[in-house]
Amino acid sequence: MKVTINGLDREIPENMNILTLLENLSIENNISLAGAIVLVNEVLIPRDNWKESIPEDSANIEIVSFVSGG
């Protein structure tokens, strides 16, 4: 199914949950999910719900990762 992730169209498997999607993206892009938040169609998905949340076809997913700096 097609979704948009941070403005880029991607194909993901049907029934892929948010947690698995994020784990795959973190491995592909060598990033940490420690400070990440996820919005699906402008709705914040709490971290505790990532495993149960499955985006719909054509969903707009925004992943924001916070980092500290000085």
For residue 10, give the CATH number of its domain: 3.10.20.30
pLDDT for residue 21 = 96
pLDDT for residue 70 = 65
Let me know if residue 70 belongs to a domain: no
Let me know if residue 39 belongs to a domain: yes
Let me know if residue 44 belongs to a domain: yes
As a 3-state breakdown, the chain gives helix, strand, coil percent values, each rounded to 5, of 20, 30, 45
Number of domains in the chain: 1
pTM over 0.95: no
Closest CA to 17 of 66, 47, 9, 7: 47
d(CA 2, CA 30): 23
pLDDT for residue 30 = 81
pLDDT for residue 67 = 73
Per-residue pLDDT of the chain (70 residues; tens, 9 = 90+): 999 999 999 999 999 999 999 999 988 888 788 889 999 999 999 999 999 999 999 999 999 987 777 6
**What is the span of the domain harbouring residue 55?**
2-65
